């Protein structure tokens, strides 16, 4: 079985189990919604301040929500030792990571796109003219969060204090993504929107570097 075939089968399993329970999606959407609503009280929605800080708050909410979403990613595999069954079955262990990070990226993207209109209304920003660029930043940012998060989830799942460890490792590591995504999104939400290519380039580079590292060393993260 090729890497692609294994990944497709595993991605199907991830989607099936999530859409059957909707545990992660529901929790994440509710969490982001609460954060956005709470922060919206601190700004006058008609002010430039809301436009200036909105992107940062949005990405901060995404990041915290992602740490919630990524936590069970490998913990679920420990309940019945299904990770061992997967390791015995796949031809390349990288398929396990690829499927999980693809599923996490999809779930994050779905959450972000569902909440974008609510954010636009609450923070009085126009997103429609730059929607395709925002979608690109969401994709690159979510991919970066998922790659690093999936790797750290595999590490923390085998550690003591696993529930505390993931956010402690994840948030500092994702600070560069937070900064780059916020800057690019902020520029897109400006009164005169523009694409900040430096930030987009950084996000692409982050994704490529971390994906390569995961491909090279991922197998060791799965060992007992």
Partner 1 sequence: MTPPAVRSTSIRFEDIDKRYGGLYALRRVSLEVAAGECIVLAGRNGSGKTTLLRIAARLVRPSAGKLSFSAQGSDESTVAKSIGFVAHATMVYDDLTAEENLLLFARLQGIAQPVQRVEELLRDVGLFDRRGSLVRTFSRGMRQRVAIARALLNAPGILLLDEPATGLDPQGTAWLAETLRRMGDAGCTIVMSLHGESEISALATRAIRLDAGAVVADTRSGADLRSILAFADA
What is the smallest separation between the CB atom of 219 and partner 1, expressed in angstroms?
A: 11
Nearest to 108, CA basis, from 59, 57, 54, 55: 59
Alpha helices in the chain (DSSP H): 3-21, 23-40, 48-70, 72-79, 82-89, 94-122, 131-157, 162-173, 175-188, 197-222
Q: Which is nearer to partner 1, 13 or 126 (CB)?
A: 13
- The CA distances from residue 121 to 35, 83, 115, 187, in Å, are 15, 43, 10, 18
What is the smallest separation between the CB atom of 122 and partner 1, expressed in angstroms?
A: 35
Residue among 5, 164, 209, 213 that touches partner 1 (CB under 8 A): 5
Which span sits near partner 1 by CB under 8 A: 15-23, 136-144, 195-203, 205-213?
15-23
Q: Which residue has the tokens 């909707």?
A: 22
Is residue 47 involved in binding partner 1 (CB under 8 A)? Answer: no
Quick note: the x/- pattern for partner 1 over 50-89, rule CB under 8 A, is -----------------------------xxxx-xxxxxx
- The CA distances from residue 73 to 76, 81, 97, in Å, are 6, 13, 10
Q: What does the block give as tokens for 52?
A: 């200036």
Is residue 169 involved in binding partner 1 (CB under 8 A)? Answer: no
Is residue 6 involved in binding partner 1 (CB under 8 A)? Answer: yes
Q: Can you tell me whether residue 47 is helix, strand or coil?
A: coil
What is the smallest separation between the CB atom of 160 and partner 1, expressed in angstroms?
A: 13
Q: Which is nearer to partner 1, 14 or 207 (CB)?
A: 14
List contacts with partner 1 (CB under 8 A): 1, 5-6, 9-10, 13, 16-17, 20-21, 79-82, 84-91, 223-224
């Amino acid at each position: 079985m090729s890497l692609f075939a294994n990944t497709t089968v595993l991605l199907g399993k991830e989607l099936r189990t999530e859409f059957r329970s909707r545990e992660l999606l529901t929790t994440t959407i509710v969490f982001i919604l609460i954060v956005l609503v709470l922060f919206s009280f601190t700004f006058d929605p008609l002010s430039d301040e809301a436009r200036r800080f909105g992107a940062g708050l949005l990405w901060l909410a995404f990041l915290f929500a992602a740490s919630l979403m990524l936590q069970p990613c490998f913990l679920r595999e420990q309940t019945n030792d299904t990770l061992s069954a997967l390791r015995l079955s796949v031809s390349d262990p990288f398929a396990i990571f690829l499927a999980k990070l693809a599923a996490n990226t999809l779930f994050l993207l779905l959450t972000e796109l569902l909440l974008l209109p609510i954010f636009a209304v609450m923070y009085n920003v126009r997103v429609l003219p730059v929607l395709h660029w925002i979608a690109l930043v969401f994709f690159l940012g979510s991919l970066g969060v998922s790659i690093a998060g999936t790797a750290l989830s595999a590490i923390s799942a085998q550690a003591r204090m696993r529930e505390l460890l993931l956010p402690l490792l994840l948030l500092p590591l994702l600070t560069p993504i937070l900064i780059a995504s916020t800057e690019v999104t902020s520029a897109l939400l400006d009164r005169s929107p523009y694409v900040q290519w430096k930030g987009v380039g950084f996000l692409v580079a982050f994704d490529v570097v971390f994906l390569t590292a995961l491909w090279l060393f991922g197998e060791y993260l799965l060992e007992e």
